[in-house]
Structure 1
């Protein structure tokens, strides 16, 4: 969509106060337009068909079709709108992931968090409108859902700098922030694109372009110097990765 075109948004929530709060928050943002407000799932589908919004702010627990069912129904359309779930429940994150939601916000929604989700949706819609043909689904993991103070947040795999193991959890490091997910290191190693990521240790995976260089430590073992000025020891079983990445 054109950068100067307002983002057309449909709100679907059976709680009038919650819908009103979203309208108020959107009213403070630039370049957005509230196309309408639906009070149940069936009305949301009908209004989406009629109004052709760019984005739905969609509650999950609603009369008639619930939010997941609404998203599934609309996803079958060629011009399906993007979806951001806004809900009081966090147990639907996996289902939200399956219907390719842009984000998953917990009530009561914070203005800054909503603004971030809206911009993410705007970027996604802009990328999808480019004349590049239908994008094929990658065989590798492209994103993760992780717990956040305001609910759940989607993390793009390409944004992850490194992954470190913490017992039964993996910590995804993105810039100065990090999130824990319940995953195994072996599964992540198989799931992440090997052209982009390398396992350097039994407890560490690093994005290749986040590696600034390699050096030997006092024991003669390889250590990866990272872009954030930290170091990651290279495990003995993974020393061949140094040669693979450096081309030597």
Structure 2
């Protein structure tokens, strides 16, 4: 039996942008557009009345912007999934804070919209299958990052990051053979990443603990971390105690 259609609500104060999005959605199977709002206040009212599965929100709107709309509706149970659609990338951190499923850059392409809809469906399916629990405090640590990509912005799970290296005012997240730059400080990342998973080994390097294959010393006696990809990471003198803590000795 086919799954029920994904019920969507669009909020965009630009009529042409909203119309283009509707035309793209008309080509997507398994979706049901239940309404279109032209401002943030209208989006909140319509979402509370129509209870859509997914909100496609422009960020810059008069009155309540898209971030404000997501925050206003976050307490609803069940809360709708949120995908932001915007012409600007500087709102990525705020989008992360309200747990957006995806973040699309205008003009939206059909394949990128399809990927966002799939992410929304996957998110809703996981939520439906999760065991019912009472409210619990959210993790105090960073669980995801938003980083610029050729297609817009990409979501990166913290657990997938192998290591972080500093590049002036930016940090580079290394995931397998790929990497992304984000605008954070090394100290902020050290505080934000779960210390059970990550360790700082140098003033310019944080490494996921299970990515460390071992330790060795160079001819001058300084520690080097051997990483799972075959590279080595020097251990700063201020961080040699980290080697002992990891080795439990």
TM exceeds 0.5?
A: yes
Q: Within 5 A, what are the aligned runs for 1:148-163?
A: 148-163=149-164
What whole-Å deviation, never above 9, does each CA across 1:112-161 have from its counterpart, x for those lacking one? 43333333333333333312423421122223333333444333322221
Q: Normalising by structure 1, what TM-score?
A: 0.84
CA pair 32-243 structure 1, distance change in 2 beyond 3 A: farther
Q: Which moved more, 1:153-162 or 1:60-69?
A: 60-69
Q: CA RMSD in A?
A: 2.7
Quick one: distance in 1 between partners of 2:58 and 2:240?
49
**Residue of structure 2 equivalent to 1:23:** 22
Quick one: distance in 2 between partners of 1:114 and 1:201?
40
SS in 1 for 2:141: coil
**Residue of structure 2 equivalent to 1:85:** 84
1:68 aligns with 2:67: yes
**Residue of structure 2 equivalent to 1:10:** 9
Quick one: distance in 1 between partners of 2:178 and 2:111?
17
Quick one: distance in 2 between partners of 1:58 and 1:245?
45
Superposition misfits of 4+ residues, deviation over 6 angstroms: none
1:121 aligns with 2:120: yes
SS in 1 for 2:108: coil
**Residue of structure 1 equivalent to 2:209:** 208
Q: CA deviation at 1:203?
A: 0.9
Number of equivalences? 246
Q: Within 5 A, what are the aligned runs for 1:57-206?
A: 57-63=56-62, 65-129=64-128, 130-133=130-133, 134-206=135-207
Quick one: distance in 2 between partners of 1:202 and 1:176?
23
What whole-Å deviation, never above 9, does each CA across 1:167-224 have from its counterpart, x for those lacking one? 2221112233222222221221122110010111121001112223333444443322
Does the 8 Å contact 2:223/2:235 carry over to 1?
yes
Q: CA deviation at 1:100?
A: 2.9
